[in-house]
């Protein structure tokens, strides 16, 4: 196919040779299958962010570093320069998280380089060598559902312990089923577990998404509560990649935080709307 303009600089630099086809297009990026020498890879070309709400941006970008106070003020005011800086920060956050997670041994695509708003990385394939499907496009037996759920809970723990990262938007729509198991993708929402006050809420939602999806195929998973269990161990400094988890957690009784409940309801509505959009565009 004719190379998109955004990939032309990588071709001129000899970083990719040809563009094979478009793999997918979403609200944040378009992904292409490309050839680099003897290797087939994928190139994620970021789009300008226009669909993220201000509240979501504040939650995810809390404690993220910016270059200077001028940039921070512009981002807060939403000026043209500020919007460009915000978009650059989102792209950088995904790239940084991807390198951190790959170094920690988390099941993510291997990143190769980031240039001119394009992330070049490993193409995750299935057992036939074709581009791997999203979990949302696959039906599972109860045995496979339990196995993949256990694998992904272990990856959530590895992300937390090995890299100090919470995905922030983990669901069946951004996990691929590769030839050797699930691979986690799409990390612009990733947050620092120790530096973001919303990290716990985001992690609980990530784990709940996994439980609800795989629970469709193995209903006993719907009774599990790995999220609260592993976060409680993390807060106490007791969570390790080898820590055995039970999926059970006893909640303490106390006064209800109405504000948190309302926030969870709003987040659930936003997540449902996002799921519907991804299902329409996926």
- How far is CA 221 from its chain centroid? 22
Q: Which helix (H) or strand (E) holds 175?
A: strand 175-178
End-to-end CA distance of the chain: 21
Catalytic residue among 39, 137, 144, 169: 169
186 is catalytic: yes
144 flagged as catalytic: no
Radius of gyration of the chain (CA): 19
Which residues are within 8 A (CB) of 39 and not within 5 positions of it... i.e. 6 or more apart?
none
DSSP structure class, residue 108: -
d(CA 282, CA 273): 14
CA-wise closest residue to 275 among 171, 124, 127: 171
Q: Look at residues 4, 2, 101 and name the one whose alpha carbon lies nearest to residue 43.
A: 4
Cβ atoms of 213 and 176 closer than 8 Å: no
Question: CA–CA separation, 29 vs 2, rounded Å?
Answer: 18
Residues 6+ apart with CB under 8 A from 85: 66, 67, 71, 74, 75
- Name the token pair of 56: 């979501």
**Candidate list 186, 225, 257, 272, residue with the active-site label:** 186
Q: Could you list the active site residues?
A: 169, 186
């Amino acid at each position: 196919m004719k190379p998109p303009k955004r990939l032309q600089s990588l071709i001129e630099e000899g970083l990719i040779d040809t563009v094979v086809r478009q793999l997918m297009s979403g609200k944040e990026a378009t992904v292409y299958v490309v050839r680099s020498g003897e290797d087939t890879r994928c190139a994620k070309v970021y789009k300008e962010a226009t669909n993220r709400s201000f509240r979501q941006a504040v939650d995810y970008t809390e404690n993220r570093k910016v270059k200077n106070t001028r940039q921070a003020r512009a981002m807060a005011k939403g000026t043209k320069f500020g919007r460009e800086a915000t978009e650059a920060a989102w792209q950088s956050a995904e790239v940084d998280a991807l390198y951190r997670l790959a170094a920690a041994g988390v099941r993510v695509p291997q990143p190769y380089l980031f240039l001119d708003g394009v992330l070049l990385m490993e193409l995750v394939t299935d057992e036939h060598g074709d581009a791997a499907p999203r979990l949302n496009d696959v039906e599972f037996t109860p045995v496979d559902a339990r196995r993949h759920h256990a694998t992904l809970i272990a990856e959530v723990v590895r992300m937390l312990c090995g890299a100090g990262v919470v995905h922030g938007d983990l669901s069946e729509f951004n996990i691929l089923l590769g030839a050797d198991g699930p691979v986690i993708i799409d990390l612009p929402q990733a947050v620092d577990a120790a530096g973001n006050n919303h990290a716990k809420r985001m992690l609980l939602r990530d784990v709940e998404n996994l439980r609800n999806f795989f629970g469709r195929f193995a209903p006993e998973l719907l009774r599990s509560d790995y999220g609260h269990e592993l976060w409680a161990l993390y807060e106490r400094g007791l969570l390790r990649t080898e820590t055995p988890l039970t999926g059970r957690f006893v909640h303490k009784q106390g006064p209800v935080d109405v504000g948190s409940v309302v926030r969870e309801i709003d987040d659930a509505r936003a997540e449902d709307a996002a799921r519907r959009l991804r299902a329409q565009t996926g």
